[in-house]
Structure 1
Amino acid sequence: MPSIHKNIFTIAVVAFLFRLLMFFFVFEHSERTIRPDTPSYVRPAINMTEGHGFSGNEHPPFFPSAIRTPIYPVFIAFFYTVFERDVLIIAFVQIFIDTLTAVLIYIWGRRLFSESAARLGGLIYSLSVEQAVHAVFILTESLFTLFFLWAIIAVSCYREHCRLRWLVSGGILIGIAILIRPIALFFPLIGLLFIWMASPNMRWQFMRHGIIFLLIIAGIVVPWVIRNYLTLGLLKVSSISSYNLLFYNAASLSTDLHRISQAQARAAINDQVTKELTALGWKGDELHSAQLYTAWSRKILFSAPIRYVYIHLKNDINCFLPDVTDFLELIGATQGGKETLSVLNQHGLIAAVNHYFDDNIWLLWAVFPFIALLGVTYLGTILGISIQILQKHWDSLRLLFLPAAYLTLLPGAAATPRFRVPAMPYICLLAGIGIAKSIQCYKIRQQQRTPI
């Protein structure tokens, strides 16, 4: 078997078996696949299968909703229609989807870098506990990660071959990614910048193609925006952004300014906003709720914008924490302490660990291998970035660094390890570069020390 086929087979088997292990933990406990956001995806899927349209209501009247974008609920609805209505079906399919992502990382990394760097990147991703855990959660992570990575691979192929069909494919894929998870909405601008920076001699051609790229994305996303406007009067991809802006970002600033917990800040904001919505007769109205959330957010954030930027970036660090909570809850070992992230932000890491584990500190040793792997991954990533800079491989560095930075810097107060999941393909490849180079240097030094 040729080396490339052997490596693909190895990475696919490792990725699939590790995710299958997570599936065994939920096989008799399907409720463990359910997260706080899961019902907001599953309910529209069920309503679509029952002919009630894209609605988040459990009972009539089934009002149209724009809280979630359509692709993931449609994905769920498809399998609910073909098979029985069981979340385990979705979890099992997502195992294959995330395994495909691991294989794509290797294939793409092999084109960009060395065989060893690509292989290491694919294996690190395959053994990442965050990726494996979220593969069996009924959330958008696995599907979004695949399409977002696929889109960037298509754009990189366009950069390499200057063939428009690759850019067309990238536009279609990024448009789908936006309709899976709207966090990708602004990334086409970064992709356009990346295309434009390709070659000074071909910038006009790249700019023309870039316009086509944006038009293709718009052709996929805009019909959904038009639907939201016609049914709700909401000229947005999703109304969830208004909610997050108020109850996470604005609440985080309020927490800092008033020296209270995030739970207290959110409760206070919720009470005031609910009273205003009720007084105006807008309670339960998605359009006016979104407008009021946005107005309140701006009022709070503009009161201390510089402080907010600092808090936003500080909270982004939460993306890089080990996802111990989700793993332990998946295997049924612990339910975790409430408001652990709030304790972390206010009192530091040691206090957060003690708060979460309480009398079960021994569980920390159970997850130590995963924490150690993540630490090695981060160290390899730093080395990989340094190597790319020293070798002046700016294009490949931008190709990996920009998506990872975009996905992990945007969340702010909402940041949790979950938001790092779609960024891991690029982090893992950078780590693969750094670790492969370190191994190579170690072997050279050993050979130099070996007497002839």
Structure 2
Amino acid sequence: MSILKRFFQNRPAILFILILAFILRLSLFIGIILKNPDGIYVYDSYGYWQIGYNIIHHFTFSQSYYLPLEPDYFRTPLYPLFIVLAESIGPEGFSIIVLQLFLSVGTCYFTYRIAEEITEKKIIANIAALIVAIDLPSIALSNFVLTETLFSFMLGISFYFFIRFLKDTKTKHLLYVGLFSGLSILCRPIAFFIPFFFACFIILKHKKLIRLLIKQIILLIGITFLTISPWLIRNNAVYGHYFLSVIREHNLLNYQAASVYAERFNYSLPKAQSILRWKTFREFKGNANKQPYEYAQLLEKESIKIIFEYPGIFAKQQLKGFIYFFLKPTRAYIEIQLGHWGKGYNTIPKDYPIFKYLFEHTSRLTIVLVFFQLFVLAVVYLSCIAGIMYLKKRTGVLYILLLVLAIFIFANFNLTLITESRFRVPVWSLVATISACGIYSIREKICAKKKTADLF
């Protein structure tokens, strides 16, 4: 506690920002409790909650509602275990959100630390933390029973310790990187590339010290693998194969391949999904529920076949998803949480004017928040250009590559046409760091011009 006390005494601004972040998240939570207590749940939430329930009452990792319980092969264990922890200390559902509010504030804190480590300027770190503190997708997602908040927190810690390692090459920091990279993977398998991504930067940092970089990479990959190994062993014991999850292959078929198929044959996305699922069910020689790994291989094969048959459609939709990743504001989530709209999806009908739909089907509060988000996004992305120039001049290209490539990779791991603001929350701290550098740089140039003008 004395370390934290000294930290905040030397940095009073960040304490104010963290308090602001907590108040904003808590305010939405109170609004949900008063207006729509079920607003903390969306479709995916029930599966996670059911796994937590079955762990507590049956010591089984399963989404099943009835006995006999079928072992689950879609979800990884960290978030359900987080639910188990939360449910053991408070009322159903709401204790999960309370813990997530603190984790979301913790992400603001680690954004500050990341920016401070890279730039060594408190003002830039404060700006970065403030950008995360007022980010509406982060605020909204912290009030849902979903993985984003826990995942963002774990990922932020991973990047923080990796940046510390790049600066001081201390082994203990690399151990933390491996541990939290593994926990990130156990929260969401999309993070599987993170240790290999970090390994590339170890090579860039120590390319002339071959023995050292080999030892460091082995340590990083080894600790990460050790962290995820209990789950790999569980799946091998249950299904006969070492794997994390099969959700990637199912998403590949249901979204990337199905959206290509839908556009090619002029189907709706749900119809295309249904056609492809039944096709793979018929072709699979076995029991898809008992052999999820083998069935997932068939899904992947079928998906890749469709994508390679129509690469132009796939590229176009991937580009749309990439753009949605950066530009879509949070709209439907807030409506769902406050009980204004309870259908649980964020799709505007095809060929329907977006702004017309926004004003006809959205509450006034959400409309105001949408335009606030669009303003913030415009400021953040425009300042990122200046931020990259600032980092190149002050720190070199290493940190630019680390931040920009990580953001780029996550933006490409999207679900094409259904990509939304939820997907960018885990890397918003990295975006905020670049943007904060740009805002600081612009501010410095304006101040310099004023001083020059005053001299004359």
1:218 match = 225
Question: Which one of the candidate residues 165, 179, 189 is aligned to 1:172?
Answer: 179
1:282 match = 287
Q: Does 2:304 align with 1:298?
A: yes
Q: Does 2:427 align with 1:423?
A: yes
1:96-130 Cα offsets, whole Å, 9 max, x none, are 01101101111221221122211111001100001
Question: Superposed, which structure 2 residues align to 1:7-406 within 5 Å?
Answer: 7-28=13-34, 29-84=36-91, 86-113=92-119, 114-274=121-281, 282=287, 284-285=289-290, 287=292, 289-305=295-311, 307-320=313-326, 321-335=328-342, 340=347, 343=350, 347=351, 351-358=353-360, 360=362, 363-389=366-392, 393-406=396-409
Contact 2:348 2:357 in 1 (8 A): no
Deviation at residue 59 of structure 1 after TM alignment: 0.6
Deviation at residue 52 of structure 1 after TM alignment: 3.9
Q: 1:108 to 1:361 in 2, by over 3 A?
A: closer
Deviation at residue 360 of structure 1 after TM alignment: 4.6
Q: Does 2:410 align with 1:410?
A: no
SS at match of 1:20: helix
Q: Which residue type is aligned with residue 312 of structure 1?
A: Q
Contact 1:340 1:352 in 2 (8 A): no
Contact 2:114 2:433 in 1 (8 A): no
- Number of corresponding residues: 444
Deviation at residue 267 of structure 1 after TM alignment: 3.1
Runs of 5+ in structure 1 lacking a partner?
none
Deviation at residue 305 of structure 1 after TM alignment: 3.8
Q: 2: distance between equivalents of 1:367 and 1:384?
A: 25
1:314-364 Cα offsets, whole Å, 9 max, x none, are 322211111122123223334579672673xxx5xx723434543558552
Runs of 5+ in structure 2 lacking a partner?
1-5
Q: 1:351 to 1:52 in 2, by over 3 A?
A: same
Contact 1:354 1:361 in 2 (8 A): no
SS at match of 1:185: helix
Deviation at residue 390 of structure 1 after TM alignment: 5.1
TM-score, with length taken from structure 1 = 0.91
Contact 1:254 1:265 in 2 (8 A): yes
Deviates more, 1:220-229 or 1:92-101: 220-229
SS at match of 1:151: helix
2:3 match = none
Q: Does 2:440 align with 1:433?
A: no
Q: 1: distance between equivalents of 2:349 and 2:265?
A: 14
SS at match of 2:66: coil
RMSD: 2.4
1:242-293 Cα offsets, whole Å, 9 max, x none, are 210100111121123223332332233234345556xx66364461543442
1:443 match = 447
SS at match of 2:429: helix
SS at match of 2:237: helix
Q: 1: distance between equivalents of 2:411 and 2:25?
A: 23
Q: 1:360 to 1:150 in 2, by over 3 A?
A: closer
Q: 1:394 to 1:366 in 2, by over 3 A?
A: closer
Contact 1:228 1:235 in 2 (8 A): yes
TM-score, with length taken from structure 2 = 0.90
SS at match of 2:11: helix
Q: 2: distance between equivalents of 1:309 and 1:97?
A: 36
Deviation at residue 376 of structure 1 after TM alignment: 1.0
Identical counterparts, % of pairs: 24
